[in-house]
Chain A
Amino acid sequence: DQQVKQNSPSLSVQEGRISILNCDYTNSMFDYFLWYKKYPAEGPTFLISISSIKDKNEDGRFTVFLNKSAKHLSLHIVPSQPGDSAVYFCAASPGFNAGNMLTFGGGTRLMVKP
């Protein structure tokens, strides 16, 4: 069963507008969440993370929101730029007792049009 899901395989946004990428999870053991950006033929690049004790974390143009009761998180990119076009993965990590392993969603391809 897929414990982390990104239900939108693709998203197209105009340059300068907001991009909102969504992610849902099912496993209550996850207590830390991360977003990665990936270009073809490269490894994922870490963007931003959030602990389950918070509901929001901001870093420049990137903000991650966590709704624990709904088991939902989202990544907001404002303003979107053409260079943001890539595949975005959300990932979840269980408590450290379970080791440092990440469970990834299937990814959302973001296209930012100039």
Chain B
Amino acid sequence: KAGVTQTPRYLIKTRGQQVTLSCSPISGHRSVSWYQQTPGQGLQFLFEYFSETQRNKGNFPGRFSGRQFSNSRSEMNVSTLELGDSALYLCASSLENQREQYFGPGTRLTVT
């Protein structure tokens, strides 16, 4: 079975721009979660989607948003980028009612 895939792997954006990151979960996994990893704050939960509905949201500003499609693929969007948004953005998927989440390789976003 193919793992979680994320595109693009690397991205450089300018402050004020917006960005969209994509995630394809493991086949059959309907729950998709997003996390941000930074040196200062560590790994932090952004949001979780299940059956195209946001089930949970972490403590991030409204500039961070996401969605899930009917095939369980997910996208996250960050608008009005700030320097502090530079991070590794990780997507994880899991089966319904399963706690174990399986992570993709991440998208490294650099904001200049």
Q: Which residues of A contact B (CB under 8 A)?
A: 32, 34, 36, 41-46, 49, 89, 91, 93, 96, 98-107
Contacts and interface: CB of A to CB of B under 8 A. Distances in A.
A102 B4 contact: no
Contacts, number: 64
B45 interface: yes
Contacts of B103: 36, 43-46
B102 interface: yes
A98 B56 contact: yes
B58 interface: yes
Q: How large is the interface on B (under 10, 10 to 19, 20 to 34, 35 or more residues)?
A: 20 to 34
Which 6 pairs across A and B sit closest by C-beta, in order of nearness?
A: A43-B103, A99-B56, A104-B43, A99-B55, A32-B99, A101-B45
A92 to B, nearest CB: 10
Contact of B99 (A34, A44, A45, A105): A34
17 contacts: A34-B100, A36-B103, A43-B105, A46-B101, A49-B99, A89-B43, A93-B99, A99-B55, A99-B56, A100-B98, A101-B45, A101-B48, A101-B58, A102-B33, A104-B43, A104-B44, A107-B42
Contacts of B45: 101-103
Given A44-B90, A89-B43, A100 B106 contact: no
